[in-house]
Structure 1
Amino acid sequence: MQKASLYLLVLGAVCISVSCNKSSSTTSSEDTGNWIKRSEFEGSQRTNAASFVIGDVAYIGGGYDGTARLNDFWKFDPTGNGSWRQVADFTGTARSNAVGFAVGNVGYVATGNDGNVKLKDNWAYDATANTWTKKNDFSGAARYDAVAFAINGKGYITTGYGDNTSGGSSNLKDIWEYNPSADSWTQKTSLGGDKRTGASVFVYKNVAYVFAGMNNGYGVNDMWAYDPSKDSWTAKRKLSNVTDSTFDDDYSDITRAYAATFVIGDFGYISTGQLVAPSSSTGGSSGTSTKTWQYDFANDTWARRTAYEGKARTGAVGFTVAGRGFIATGGAGSSSFYDDIWELDPNNTYNAND
């Protein structure tokens, strides 16, 4: 079985635990935040779809349904309980484990896996014309399970599992910038931490936070902030239990791969995924997760929040649209695939009736 298919069987996410200074312990409530089920995704159940947000509309498509890779695309309007409408099918090779990002009124889908080979093509979706156009291929190595984001009119792709310079395949840590105006790619300074696949990313105030994922069978426990204006990376606090003379985080179930993330206001959120113990750990949690954590950008700390109320899963998509955070689709194992979508209201408390 090809390695890509193996990842489809065990897709995951990154969990983050409570941060606290032991001299003045911070209380974090596991009942803070309420998940609300919204109108179900109208496409078929799937995992490892691609997504991007244009204006106040989210777009989701592609992925794997247990039988085949998909090429249909749908848009989600979050007004009220949410509504779905199918848009033009993706015209590239049907794929899963691709990345998506948006610049202005155009969304992009690149890289991924078609079930046989790793991909590096790049396609643009014009939301006004409802059409797809092939752009210049991604200039890095063909890969899947990368992360992507957009800042100040440029797109970025980094990490993932792909071809290496020795002719084989490995996890990666290079980063490439896409200029839509020139339809060109430029390599930038590589991620300062470990190589990884199935990583997560937040974007906040024009800085990208790349973290978690897995490498060499272990969960990666570092987090790095990338400032494109300086082409520089800054290390943030570790995502596993690391003690120094001034700070003890007490983390126990942070590290994970293939998580769903979104940003609301001044906080990032991560949920679902596959818990993976870090290499420095003698134990740690494992398995498909519903654990949810909130990241405080100002203080570089994490706090536990109400667990995701859908089924535990990996390979879901997370996105922010109209200032609201959502998680949709995903799967568990080789036979369970989902089409539900849930919204987190971070300011309310858990309500089992929602």
Structure 2
Amino acid sequence: MKRPRLLLWLLLLLTWNLTACNNDDTDPDDEIVGDWTSRSQFEGLARSAAVSFTINGKAYVGLGTDGTDKFQDFWEYTPATNTWRQIADFPGVARYQAVAFEAGGKGYVGTGYDGVNRLKDFYQYDPATNKWTQKADFAGSARYAAVGLSIDGKGYIGTGYDGNFKKDFWQYDPSTDTWTQKPSFGGNKRLGAVAFTLDGTGYILTGSDNGLVQTDVWAYNPATEQWTERRTLTNNTDEDYDYSALPRTNAVSFVVNNQGYVALGTNSGNLSDCWVYNPSEDTWTQKTSFEGAARTQAIGFGLGDLGYVGLGTTGSTRLDDFWQLAPDTESE
């Protein structure tokens, strides 16, 4: 009589273990959160390779190309009313694959490509007066597909393509309208990378060098002028992480709640996945994938607790849709 009871006990124990495994809260599928919501369509013409910056809770989007024409128009987005308003046109030549950043309450835009020439001119936008002012030309070589970011009221431009792939890095001081060359980017030369700033540290990652998509991530400390390599975007079985889905070119990046986001772009095809970086732990976590069409050369920015992504190209079609990400909300 004891054997049936033993078998029954073993069967119950096995069933309990299987149930416990199926309910494991470390299952990666259970941890993917983030809710995407379609917002007011961009009011300008559909385009790719535009630029964006944010000032005082509003976003500014402009330039880019529809594949034939290049644009000079700029638009202001107000999240509180979910509306777009056209502002003063960019005064330089129409272009795409430029860079933009905010510093000291002003927007800055420069470099890029007009379809014939690589560019290095540089402009400031003042939202209080709705006026553009030409500033000192970028001190590096004329280029496109570079990165721009700001740290502690100063702007930075680096990497890109000037006929050769680049890794130089330059600081712009708005108070003196001057450029200063800084130690070159710590990784390989590249174009189509992304950059963001977290806790006074700049980060540059992704992009490609002669067609090879890059897997390194670098942090720049402006106080020491040192570049430090962080975890690579690979499958590292020794450290028990797999970030091999992250490398890409012409993605978007934005910052929400002092965490950096990377989404979209291309790597053997257009992508729609979205990842968030925690700088204190040097870790990446996947978020809910973007719910619009997979695309490259889109724009992205963060405002408050939300991220925003839009525009771009599928390869054959330029886009003008616009989406909002609530990063910590479960997808409906």
Q: Structure 2 length normalisation: TM-score?
A: 0.90
Answer yes or no: is 1:75 the counterpart of 2:76: yes
Answer yes or no: is 1:262 the counterpart of 2:254: yes
CA contact (8 A) 2:256 2:304 kept: no
Residues 79-111 of structure 1 deviation map (CA, whole Å, 9 limit, x = unaligned): 15x110000000100000000011122111010
Displacement of 1:346 after TM fit? 1.2
* Residue identity matched to 2:295: R
Match of 2:53 in 1: 52
Match of 1:37 in 2: 38
Answer yes or no: is 1:248 the counterpart of 2:240: yes
Match of 1:160 in 2: 160
CA contact (8 A) 1:40 1:341 kept: yes
Match of 1:177 in 2: 171
* Residue identity matched to 2:274: T
Q: Distance in 2 between matches of 1:264 and 1:155?
A: 19
Displacement of 1:29 after TM fit? 3.9
Aligned counterpart for 1:327 among listed residues 287, 309, 315: 309
Q: Distance in 2 between matches of 1:126 and 1:132?
A: 7
* Residue identity matched to 2:314: A
Q: Distance in 1 between matches of 2:103 and 2:255?
A: 17
What does residue range 314-353 of structure 1 map to in structure 2 within 5 Å?
314-333=296-315, 335-351=316-332
Q: Distance in 2 between matches of 1:120 and 1:248?
A: 43
Residue segments in structure 2 that go unaligned for 5+ positions in a row: 1-25
Residues 51-89 of structure 1 deviation map (CA, whole Å, 9 limit, x = unaligned): 111111100000001221100000001115x11000000
Residue segments in structure 1 that go unaligned for 5+ positions in a row: 1-24, 163-168, 276-285
Match of 1:61 in 2: 62
What does residue range 2-13 of structure 1 map to in structure 2 within 5 Å?
none
CA contact (8 A) 1:30 1:306 kept: no
Q: Which aligned segments of 4 or more residues in structure 1 are displaced greater than 3 angstroms?
A: 25-31
CA contact (8 A) 2:305 2:326 kept: no
Q: Distance in 1 between matches of 2:206 and 2:180?
A: 25
Match of 1:238 in 2: 232
Q: Give aligned-pair identity as a percent.
A: 46
Displacement of 1:322 after TM fit? 2.7
SS at match of 1:312: coil
Q: Distance in 1 between matches of 2:270 and 2:236?
A: 24
Residues 103-144 of structure 1 deviation map (CA, whole Å, 9 limit, x = unaligned): 122111010000001000001111111111111100001110
Q: Structure 1 length normalisation: TM-score?
A: 0.84
Displacement of 1:298 after TM fit? 1.3
**Gap change, CA 1:93 and 1:37, over 3 Å in 2:** same
Displacement of 1:181 after TM fit? 1.1
Which stretch of structure 1 is more off in the superposition, 29-38 or 294-303?
29-38
Two-structure CA RMSD over aligned residues (Å): 1.5
Displacement of 1:31 after TM fit? 4.1
Displacement of 1:248 after TM fit? 2.9
SS at match of 1:290: coil
Q: Distance in 1 between matches of 2:103 and 2:131?
A: 15
Residues 271-329 of structure 1 deviation map (CA, whole Å, 9 limit, x = unaligned): 11102xxxxxxxxxx20000111211111111111110011110011101233210111
What does residue range 186-335 of structure 1 map to in structure 2 within 5 Å?
186-244=180-238, 247-275=239-267, 286-333=268-315, 335=316
* Residue identity matched to 1:151: I
Q: Distance in 2 between matches of 1:252 and 1:239?
A: 5
CA contact (8 A) 1:29 1:305 kept: no
Q: Distance in 2 between matches of 1:26 and 1:213?
A: 30
Q: Distance in 1 between matches of 2:153 and 2:29?
A: 37
Q: Distance in 1 between matches of 2:50 and 2:259?
A: 24
For the pair shown, which has the larger CA radius of gyration, 1 or 2? 2
* Residue identity matched to 2:72: N
* Residue identity matched to 2:92: G
CA contact (8 A) 2:264 2:295 kept: yes
Q: Distance in 2 between matches of 1:348 and 1:248?
A: 27
**Gap change, CA 1:39 and 1:327, over 3 Å in 2:** same
Q: Distance in 1 between matches of 2:254 and 2:310?
A: 12
Q: Distance in 2 between matches of 1:78 and 1:215?
A: 36
User: How many residues are aligned here?
Assistant: 308
Displacement of 1:213 after TM fit? 0.6
Q: Distance in 2 between matches of 1:349 and 1:90?
A: 39
Q: Distance in 1 between matches of 2:135 and 2:27?
A: 49
Residues 193-229 of structure 1 deviation map (CA, whole Å, 9 limit, x = unaligned): 1111100112111111110111121110000001112
What does residue range 145-156 of structure 1 map to in structure 2 within 5 Å?
145-156=145-156
Displacement of 1:266 after TM fit? 3.6
SS at match of 1:307: coil
Q: Distance in 2 between matches of 1:248 and 1:189?
A: 33
Higher helix proportion (structure 1 or 2): 2
CA contact (8 A) 2:199 2:258 kept: no
